[in-house]
Structure 1
Amino acid sequence: MLLASLKRLLTVAVCVLSCLGGLANAGPIDNPSVVNTSLPGNQAIAGLSSLVASGNGEKLLHWMDYPAATGYVQRISSAGVLSPTKMAVPVYSYGISTDRVGNFTVTSANANITLYDRNGNIRTSSFRPHLNASAALTSMDADGNLSIFYSTSVNQTSALALRRFTAAGIPLGNETQVLAPIANTVSVNTMVSDAAGNITVSWIVVNNSSSNNLALYMQRFNSQAQPITSPTIIPSTLPGARDGGVLATSPQGSFVIAWNSTQDGLTWDSYVLRFNASGYAVGSPIRLNQTTQQSSPQAHVSMTEDGSFVATWRMQATPPATGYILYARQFMSDGTPIGNEFQVDPGFANVFYANSAIDKAGNFTIAWTAANQPVSDYDVKMRSYKLDTQPAITALANGQPAQGLAGSTGSWKYFKITVPPGIAQMNVSMTGPAGGDGDMYIRFGGLPSATAWDIRPYVNGSNEIANISNPPPGDFYIAIYGYIGYSGVSLNVSY
């Protein structure tokens, strides 16, 4: 036991050094592509919560086909592959959330919420969180329960509330008032939950009596929907009206908000601001666009588990060109930029409502509405990337071992296999000669480390086995850590 404890301490210490090195600059996984390839134009992304990441490495994209009067949800793998299966949902729906295995919710008109399984079958029929609810957003926790952030409209007043429900739509406790009824117009913007179930919401208040009539607010709640912070105006340090207010969170609870700001109603800038898990701002707002422009940049943001984040925004094309070009930039958890801003769809203008989503391993997808030239119809487009700080990852295939593996003391090597639904058992085996000691770490949905893993056989030598019954569908990551330098090792996954 003492030796095992010492081994663990040494593993953690070495990981702090080695896990930060050897990073690969991977860049884009694919080129921009049209999602609605088999349909005519006039398809679009509807809002700020149309692309979300599941805990299994997949992303779910929600878009609307207006000519067919229906909406669709499609899966995108961590490798950027769009599933050909389109799962039909109500056409006028404006938000989606998902759990760790790909079950999802869709919110449609009048705050009707429907729960679906990962195959698009209805699990819970449509229900409303409140009789007078007018709009709603949801988030799903690890147990499949829902947190619902919604607005109500009664007698020309608007209010906001938060309430938790089971996956069957049964209330868990009373509602929490977020904003008491006021005469101004209010709108729910975005909602995120961390691994502990803590909730952060954002909303906009439209004050028609003010020249800067758009005010953006944020508030943080615990897993029981009780306030952690008071409502906070975003940002308190910059004047002017704000719109947007897209939130993204890490599993540990740190989060970031992106918004658009104008002081005169004519020119706009976009910003992001970081917060710690207690809900307090960290640092100053970071301006995204380098040139002030004459329309909202429609900023969006997504965050991975280490706090790194990706921001997107649109910029006016340089005359004589017209329209708006989509840009993105990566940032470290402390707000330091990773490289320069880049164009997501070079040479194409007129983009609207870009969304982004990133998984725990650092694979991210950006999706947007593209207006065709001349502007007569619209398409939904997407492109996938890897964070530039993502280490090299070797893809494995079922029953095909990776052989001749070697690593020095303190090194980490990463592998990934994507498991389909309905598998009864998955077997992971590492074999190697005597004299070395490679330790195998396995984690679902994210890169393993010395402190984050689901399975670790942890025996002496480089011969380890892990058998997983009924593995959930999605990405399993396997790491080999060199407790002692090793060579001639094979790694095999079969199911």
Structure 2
Amino acid sequence: AGGAVIADAVHIQKVGGGSASEFLKSGFEFLVNTGTTDNQNAPQVAVAANGSFVAVWASSAGSREVYMRRFATDGSPIGGETQVNTYSSNDQNAPAIAMAPDGRFVISWTSTGQDTSFDGVFAKLFDSAGNAVTGDILVNTHVADNQRFSSVSMNSSGQFVISWQSDHQDDANGVGIHAQRFDANGTPVGSEILVNSTTEGDQRFPSVALTEEGSFAVVWQSNYNAQGYEIFAQRFDANGVKEGSETQVNQYTFNDQTNATVAYSPAGRFLIAWQSTTADGSGDGVFGRLLNVSGQFDSNEFRINSETFNDQRFPSVASTANGDFVVAWHSDNQDVAGGRGVYAQLLNSAGEHVGMEIPVNSTVLGDQMNPSVGIGPSGRAVIVWESDQPEDGDAFGVFAQIFQVID
């Protein structure tokens, strides 16, 4: 698996100036998990400066647990898969991961019953060799009802921010978005923060992106007006204080805008991507918009997927060191065998398409879905996804493909 073989290369000219760019597929897709009983799903990935990476996922073999596996730059595994959570009663699921350039990383997840009241959010910090340096850290302070579906972002100093949704907390009308800052040792910094200002309806499924200076942005979906979900963003300074007001991101407001994700680039911009129903003229499509660190939008919303037939869903976004972005998603019936396939698009720092969208998975039997993309400072990119193709041997498994972004 892995290796330096160039299986595919897309040669592209950067739009809007700059040097020629390439988005290279390195080696072949490979199976990430070693345990294949039942389903392995909800994969996430993070990449270090040297190109090594860690994949994390939830396994339903027996009780539901969170697992991780480390890989070298060429995709060769560094040991076997490892259970992340220490507490193993009930279910542990919905993992998220973030990594510093030196390879330190943090994993967060949802745990049922561990915080004494339904679902709670927990995290564990690891050194660059994959050794746990903390136990299970309770992230949420408020434990009544459910806290779940976390997102995490880490900068080069090892500071990290975790955001999640909480039922009937400060947002008394329903579900609200909260966040907590941590230092590099996994110690909470300040109190947990209510992210959303609008409390009508439900605010769900946050995504967070942290800058090098410690400021951050959180995005989420809200059905505050009972007319469908919209995408909102809120910026915070390095002390966790709100900067400006929450801002509606999407401009197309018919039907639902959901599954928002955000990444920060060193060019000083956040790329927010989401799934929009009927905006591309055919089912769901993937759209994006650029927000700068001063709170101004640097673009109107734009369509990221080129193929618009059927549905394109569940985007994931990551940034390169020079400010470019890679967005991955899954698309219905675009693969030659039908079913779902994973696709990716390189964008420059202005949000312009660089070349064409490309298929990520090589195997097209069954469904390939729910991708996650990670990029290290060197431009090494890894996309992971879940698939029910035969190689896993039983239900869904986690697969990966390595890429290189070259300027």
**TM-score bin, normalised by smaller chain:** 0.5 to 0.7
What is the rounded CA distance, in whole Å, between the counterparts of 1:137 and 1:80 in structure 2? Answer: 33
**Conservation of the 8 A alpha-carbon contact between 2:66 and 2:95:** no
Deviations 1:375-407 (A, max 9, x none): 9822211111221189xxxxxxxxxxxxxxxxx
Trace 1:396-475 onto structure 2 (pairs within 5 A): 473-474=406-407
Q: Please give the per-residue CA displacement for 1:40-82, whole angstroms capped at 9, x wherever unaligned.
A: xxxxxxxxxxxxxxxxxxxxxxxxxxxxxxxxx9x9x89899x
Matched, 1:198 2:104: yes
Aligned to 2:161: 256
Q: Is 1:304 matched up with 2:211?
A: yes
Instruction: For residue 235 of structure 1, give the secondary structure of its aligned residue in structure 2.
Output: coil
CA distance in 2, matches of 1:256, 1:78: 33
Residue equivalent to 1:358: 264
1:78–1:246: structure 2 CA closer, same or farther, 3 Å change rule? Answer: farther
How much is the aligned-residue C-alpha RMSD, in angstroms?
Answer: 3.8
Correspondence for 1:126 among 30, 34, 39: 30
Distance 1:330 1:266, change over 3 A: closer
* Contact 1:362–1:387 under 8 Å retained in 2: yes
- 8 Å Cα contact 1:306-1:333 kept in structure 2: yes
2:177 paired residue number: 270
Question: 2:143 and 2:70 mapped to 1: Cα distance?
Answer: 34
Measured after TM superposition, the shift of residue 233 of structure 1 is: 2.1
Name the counterpart of 1:172: 78
Task: Give the structure 2 partner of residue 244 of structure 1.
Answer: 149
Name the aligned partner's letter for residue 131 of structure 1.
G
Percent identity of the aligned residues?
24
Find the aligned partners of 2:87 and 2:120 in 1 and give their Cα distance: 16
What residue is the counterpart of 1:339 in the other structure? 244
Provide closer, same or farther for how the CA distance between residues 124 and 377 of structure 1 changes in structure 2, counting only shifts above 3 A. closer
Q: Secondary structure at the match of 1:310?
A: strand
CA distance in 2 between partners of 1:295 and 1:376 (Å): 27
8 Å CA contact 1:289–1:315 kept in 2: the answer is no
The answer to whether structure 1 residue 140 and structure 2 residue 44 are counterparts is no
Mean Cα deviation higher: 336-345 or 160-169: 160-169
The SS at the match of 1:279 is coil
| One-letter amino acid of the structure 1 residue matched with residue 66 of structure 2 | L
Compared with structure 1, are the counterparts of its residues 178 and 339 closer, same or farther at alpha carbon in structure 2 (3 Å cutoff)? same
Determine the C-alpha separation between the residues in 2 that align with 1:78 and 1:226: 42
How far, CA to CA, are the matches of 1:165 and 1:227 in structure 2? 16
Q: 1:256 to 1:344 in 2, by over 3 A?
A: same
3-state SS of the aligned residue for 1:348? coil
**Deviation, structure 1 residue 288:** 1.6
* Map of 1:388 onto structure 2: 294
**Runs of 4 or more above 6 Å deviation:** 77-81
CA shift for structure 1 position 199: 0.8
Equivalent residue for 2:283? 377
Provide the residue aligned with 2:360 in structure 1.
none
Q: How many residues align structurally?
A: 286
TM-score (norm 1): 0.51
Please state how far the C-alpha of 1:168 moved relative to its aligned partner: 3.5
Q: Deviations over 1:414-433 (max 9, x none)?
A: xx999xxxxxxxxxxxxxxx
Deviations 1:458-489 (A, max 9, x none): xxxxxxxxxxxxxx844xxxxxxxxxxxxxxx
Match of 1:485 in 2: none
Q: Which amino acid aligns with 1:334?
A: N
Query: Take 1:80 and 1:358, find their aligned partners in 2: how far apart are those partners?
Result: 21
Closer/same/farther in 2, CA of residues 347 and 143 from structure 1, 3 Å limit: closer
- Cα distance in 1 for residues equivalent to 2:274 and 2:295: 24
| CA deviations over 1:148-189 (Å, ceiling 9, x no partner) | 2233333x3233333322234333245543225846333242
How many angstroms does 1:122 deviate by? 4.3
Show the counterpart of 1:226: 131
* Secondary structure of the corresponding residue to residue 229 of structure 1: coil
Q: What's the counterpart of residue 69 of structure 1? A: none
- CA change 1:272–1:169 in 2 (3 A) is same
Q: Is the 8 A contact 1:78 1:363 kept in 2?
A: no
Kept after mapping to 1: 8 A contact 2:125/2:133: yes
Match of 2:356 in 1: none
Of structures 1 and 2, the larger Rg is shown by 1
Stretches of structure 2 that go unaligned for 5 or more consecutive residues are 1-9, 297-321, 325-376, 379-404
